[in-house]
Chains A and B, each alone.
Chain A
Amino acid sequence: MKIRGSLRNNTLLGLGFALMMISLYLMFIYVPTEKGMGIIQRIFYFHVPLAWVAFLAFFVVFITSILYLWKRDTKWDTLAHASAEIGVVFTTLVLITGPIWARPEWGSWWTWDARLTSSLILWLTYIAYLLVRSFAEEEEKGARFAAVIGIVGFINVPIVYLSVNLWRTQHPPELVSDLEGSMLLTLLVSITTFTILYCLLIMRNVSLKSGIAEVKRLRGLLEE
């Protein structure tokens, strides 16, 4: 069982590594430079997959939070916690790559546009999600509180998006429909790569967290 598990891990790791190399090749060498925006447009092949993974991660938090409150099985909480951490890291990268792109394009690092603002709010919500665990007196309470924030925060995303969108928007709309074939290919490969990266990271993070819980349990036994 253990061996098969690690074999599966290694297969995924190998696949992820190969795909990452291919993605990098596609992004920097294969795909032609976009005429209007120039070289900076290549960051798009990072930016969009990162945003996709962040959103996926928070969706996983949402689902596993509901499952945790319903079933009260710690495995759902571990999964939610692990996914939230990865989501925050990826959102941070989104918030860094976005302005790098925006500066030459729009002439400013930051604009209060719908997608940027929503990402920022999302980022803040899930930082609160991570913080609230340390605020709670008992781990179990922290898990419950975090789950509640994971649910409320995610439901709030469309409302935030809608309201900021109505407020002002500058972000380019989804370009996927009028992307050239080579660009679309690069983007799709990149999205697949980053999704696999997410799967790898979440497996590592979950096993790390289970390890920590196991150590705590054993220490508890030792103290008796």
Chain B
Amino acid sequence: MSDDINDIKYAIEAKGLSKSFGGLFALKGIDLSINEGECVALFGPNGAGKTTLIKVLTTLSRPANGKVLIAGEDIKKNAVAVRRRIGVVSHQTFLYDNLTAYENLKFYGKMYDVPDLEQRIVDVITKVGLESRLRDRVGIFSRGMQQRLSIARAILHDPPIMLLDEPETGLDEQARSTLSELLKTLVAGNRTVLLTTHNLEWGFALADRLAILVKGKIVYEDSKQSLDMTTFRETYNRCVGARS
């Protein structure tokens, strides 16, 4: 396990990644490279394999073939080291309803060996604007507040890489824009972000680079500079429509 990540080119690098069972492929030869500090949005319809891809990248699921390096660590050989370097926000919060915000953060902080934990908890809870609710049970929080706390949980151990799996699902308009603001500050903090969503406008606004996943394959990938939203929507519809 090397802690020296300076000489590594990509924060996330997947080559020929596939996941299959008995001839049915969920992911078919994914090649994806994400630079350090870059924010990539991955779009795709339901069942395209977005969640499967995130689960493989976060070591929750084992790929059938291919190689993945996260911050230079192989996800198969060095899963624990990979987990230390990633923060994950999903449409589920990973928070315990019966515990308070503080207890949830303290639990995860201990699991990640976060140094100076008490101070760190105060820092992250302030970042997501929930400092007044620290001693309240998570169960009584609104969906939006829970998702903000979930972000606090994900950045608790200060991971250089964030993976966000449809984090906006189930949030109302206001909570979604708060989430955008939060994510922008995260990206500004020089973190690498991979974001999956099926909300085109929302993801488009956040990302530096865009990719479209359809039926387990990345069918489109481009940086945002050359695009506006209308063109991208057309591209998306063509990619999804042509293959379904």
A and B touch in the complex (CB under 8 A): yes
| Residues 8-21 of chain B, each 1 if its beta carbon lies under 8 Å from chain A, else 0 | 00000000000001
Per-position 1/0 for A195-224, Cβ under 8 A of B? 000000000000000000110110010001
Q: Does B229 have its Cβ within 8 Å of any Cβ on chain A? A: no
Q: State the majority secondary structure of interface residues on A.
A: helix
Provided the pairs A72-B62, A72-B64 are in contact, do residues A224 and B243 lie with their beta carbons within 8 angstroms? Answer: yes
Q: Are A220 and B23 in contact (CB under 8 A)?
A: yes
- Contact across chains for A220 and B24 when beta carbons are under 8 A apart: yes
Q: Closest chain A residue to B64 by CB distance?
A: A72
Interface string of A120-157 (1 = CB under 8 A from B): 00000000000000000011100100000000000000
**Residues of B close to A139: CB separation below 8 A:** 21-22, 24
| Number of residues from A at the complex interface, CB < 8 A | 12
Whether B215 contacts A224 by the Cβ 8 Å rule is: yes
With both beta carbons as reference points, the residue of chain B lying nearest to A217 in the complex is identified as: B23
For residue A74, give the distance in angstroms from its CB to the closest CB of chain B: 5
Q: Taking each of B23, B62, B243, which has the highest tally of chain A beta carbons within 10 Å of its own beta carbon?
A: B23
* A143 vs chain B, min Cβ distance (A): 7
> How many Cβ-Cβ contacts under 8 Å join chain A to chain B?
24
In angstroms, Cα B20 to Cα A213, docked, is 12
Kindly report which residue of chain A lies nearest to residue B214, judged by CB atoms: A224
A220-B24 Cα distance, complex, nearest whole Å: 7
The answer for the CA separation of A138 and B25 in the assembled complex, in Å, is: 12
**In the bound complex, CA of A220 to CA of B23 (Å):** 9
Type the 1/0 row for B151-176, where 1 means its CB is closer than 8 Å to any CB of A.
00000000000000000000000000
CB <8 Å contact, A217 and B24: yes
B62 to chain A: which residues have CB within 8 Å?
72
Does B23 lie within 8 Å of A213, measured CB to CB? Answer: yes
Residues of A with C-beta under 8 A to B215: 224
Q: Which residues of B contact A217 (CB under 8 A)?
A: 22-24
The residue of chain A having its C-beta at the shortest distance from the C-beta of B244 within the complex is: A224
Closest to A214 in B: B23
> Given the complex, which residues of A lie within 8 Å of B22, measured CB to CB?
74, 139, 213, 216-217
Indicate with 1 or 0, residue by residue over B62-91, a CB within 8 angstroms of chain A CB atoms: 101000000000000000000000000000
Q: Which of B21, B62, B64 has the most CB of A within 10 A?
A: B21
Residues of A with C-beta under 8 A to B64 = 72
A213 contact set on B, CB distance < 8 A = 22-23
Complex formed: what's the CA distance from A143 to B243 in Å? Answer: 30
B219–chain A nearest beta-carbon distance, Å? 12
Given A72-B62, A72-B64, A216 contacting B23 (CB threshold 8 A): yes
In A37-86, the 8 Å CB interface with B consists of 72, 74
Q: What 5 pairs across the A-B complex have the smallest Cβ distances?
A: A217-B23, A140-B21, A213-B22, A139-B21, A74-B22
Interface residues of B (CB under 8 A from A): 21-25, 62, 64, 215, 243
Known A72-B62, A213-B23, A216-B22; 11 more pairs at CB < 8 Å: A72-B64, A74-B22, A138-B21, A139-B21, A139-B22, A140-B21, A213-B22, A216-B23, A216-B24, A217-B24, A220-B25
